């Protein structure tokens, strides 16, 4: 171990090891794009599944305090579990596969989303609901046409946080060999501390997160035209 690391240091000093190398990106564009595709695939799947599970959970939890307590308590526990441990919990059952990473990511995004969905729904003013009911809105229409639009800013805030943290968390999937751009980060580390590869992976992650956040911010603006003037 010791001799290996000291050998690596000598090699790193002898050979040029730039922080970024455009030729690395062009020469390995195929690999990078594959990892990027996996990263995007995992993120989108995790957030979409998270939404699909979180929405009914939030609606259920709103029904009564006795459900909201356990749901929020459990979500705190889930969120406190470190990501590496989470993947380690799942891996023995699903193996070294993308599914392992996906299950862990869904759990995390789910937790963020339930909290924000619930907060959004609980913040809908009671008199607005009453007025809607007075106008003859039934349960389903009240939910989709009155409560969801009013809770949308909170929903979208949760969605943005969940997406951005998921993009960052995908990298931990390297433990089972499916870490998207994280593969470049540890790949470069294991390939004699090849900085260009590490930085490409890291910068790629950050850019991907910012791009996703920007897209969702745009979607939020488009979906809530009434809040634009207040925001700016």
Partner 1 sequence: MNLLQDALLWLNDPFNWTRPDGVLDLLRQHLRISALAVLAALVVGLPIGALLGHLGRGGGFTVALSNVSRAVPTLALLTIFAVTPIGFGPTATTIALAVFAVPPVLTNAYVGFRGVDRDVVEAARAMGMTGRQLLLRAELPLATPLVMTGIRTAAVQVVATATLAALVAGGGLGRIITLGFRQQDYGAVLAGALLVAALALLTEGVLAAASWALTPGAKRLPRRSSMAAAVPVPVPD
Shortest spacing between CB 232 and partner 1, in angstroms: 14
Residue 62 sits at the vertex; the CA angle it makes with 60 and 68, to the nearest 5 degrees, is 85
The CA distance from 5 to 3, in Å, is 5
Nearer to partner 1, 137 or 157 (CB): 157
Shortest spacing between CB 217 and partner 1, in angstroms: 11
Q: How many Cβ atoms from other residues are within 10 Å of residue 52's Cβ?
A: 12
Do 136 and 48 touch, CB atoms closer than 8 A? no
Give buried/exposed letters for 78-116 (b at 16+ CB in 10 A, else e): eeeeebeebbeebbeebeeebebbbbbbbbbbbbbbbbb
Nearer to partner 1, 68 or 137 (CB): 68
Shortest spacing between CB 37 and partner 1, in angstroms: 17
Nearer to partner 1, 146 or 201 (CB): 201
Give me the residues that bind partner 1 (CB under 8 A), please.
Answer: 9, 72, 76-77, 79-86, 88-89, 91-92, 108, 112, 115-116, 118-119, 122-123, 154, 161, 164-165, 167-172, 174-176, 179, 182, 185-186, 188-189, 193, 195, 198-199, 201-202, 205-206, 209-210, 213
């Amino acid at each position: 171990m010791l001799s290996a690391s000291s050998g690596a240091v000598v090699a790193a000093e002898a050979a040029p090891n730039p922080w970024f190398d455009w030729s690395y990106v062009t020469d390995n564009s195929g690999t990078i794009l594959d990892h990027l595709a996996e990263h995007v695939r995992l993120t989108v799947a995790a957030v979409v599944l998270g939404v699909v599970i979180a929405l009914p959970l939030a609606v259920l939890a709103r029904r009564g305090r006795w459900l909201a307590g356990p749901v929020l308590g459990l979500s705190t526990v889930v969120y406190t579990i470190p990501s590496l441990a989470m993947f380690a919990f799942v891996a023995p059952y699903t193996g070294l596969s993308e599914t392992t990473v996906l299950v862990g990511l869904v759990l995390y995004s789910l937790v963020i989303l339930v909290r924000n969905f619930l907060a959004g729904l609980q913040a809908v003013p009671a008199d607005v609901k009453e007025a809607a009911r007075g106008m003859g809105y039934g349960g389903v229409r009240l939910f989709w046409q009155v409560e969801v639009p009013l809770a949308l800013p909170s929903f979208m805030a949760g969605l943005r946080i969940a997406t951005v943290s998921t993009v960052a968390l995908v990298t931990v999937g390297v433990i089972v060999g499916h870490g998207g751009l994280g593969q470049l980060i540890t790949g470069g580390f294991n390939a004699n501390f090849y900085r260009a590869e590490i930085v490409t992976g890291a910068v790629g992650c950050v850019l991907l997160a910012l791009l996703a956040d920007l897209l969702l911010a745009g979607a939020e603006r488009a979906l809530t035209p009434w809040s634009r003037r207040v925001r700016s």
